[in-house]
Structure 1
């Protein structure tokens, strides 16, 4: 299976994996403003199977999605060292890739990552709204679910949601995703092997009512070079709600990757 993708720039490959249901625009929207100012990186943004413009085919498990990602890496990157960034479910897949290819992956970035895969087992706070602007909620059209997760309900956050998140949600193959979710766990647990010693970033939203922040703290022993940040006034779409702090953390993480930093 060939995954639909977009790519930008030249240099060290950066594989960006979006979360469950949206498409590559979830990642381009928050990462391209950062990487556009940093030469030396080739950014690859695939649509995962059943999402965006990548068909699911007969895939019926996360193992099947991971196999498609693995084939994409072999096709687009080969054996070249690369960086991987994953958001939510994409972070789960990224952790699985690190377990498979620790020597090839220069660094791991996790944004609002899944800590515990089963929703009922997660430690998550109640949804709250901490920042609003007049008229934003009133401007929503029928069917827009922006307020379901938004901790920051401002015009800027809504505009980013409409450009980065909503388009993917609208085109996802929900039947295929329901089928895949019945076999959601990877056969090989991401942290079942040796610790990963590459520079790592784990950034969570303190008010994230989907994946939370507490369960991810338990990942730290497996990633001894991880920065762990739980951002206040940030939910599951923290990259939309705290873009400046998000950008600063991504840039600092990239600076901890000497092979990547010197290649540009």
Structure 2
């Protein structure tokens, strides 16, 4: 909750594709203009002004005279905003990753909206064990008859992940056949990166407990470096991304010896 009483989560962008489109443009261009948005989205400038005001009240952008700019309070969007961004691509990635998991496997899953799509793809599987630190993934899978679910505890992050020493201590009790992690940045030079150092450390613990390490990342994460390194690329066996990925970025990953699936 912000000091002015407005929650960062008060705008339900899932029900408003126009707001999501505005946030996409702000994220990509860092600033937007009312008249440009009105023309691009086919609505009046008055409608755009109301949209920007609503998003500004929720802390998702900063209103300016004639438009708005990105709110870089920490660079990380709330999970519910991320959930509607590139949803189709994330769904394909989740389905492809699920197809690679054999029956009887024990898998680890960190948080993130792409990881949530993997969880949904696994919901009706039988004879599979899932260890996760993400409360939204746990909520998605709890009660599924074919899934043995373990949710580890820790300090709650805006990403819906539970991280820190408590999470890592609990992870030490398990061996994982495969670990699937989401990232906020992925390059051949800097490996897997994210916004928060404690989250990075817990993600690293998942990889250390696994026989095979797989990164799920939509194309917007490739070529990007964030604050905290999770692991160098040499620790990753496979990357699953979508077909809008930059071919040059794919080439650098493959040249580093990582198996890359494009779906």
TM-score normalized with structure 1 length: 0.25
Between the two structures, name the one with larger relative contact order (CA 8 Å, sep ≥ 6): 1
**Which is greater in Rg?**
2
**Bigger fraction of residues in strand:** 2
TM-score normalized with structure 2 length: 0.25
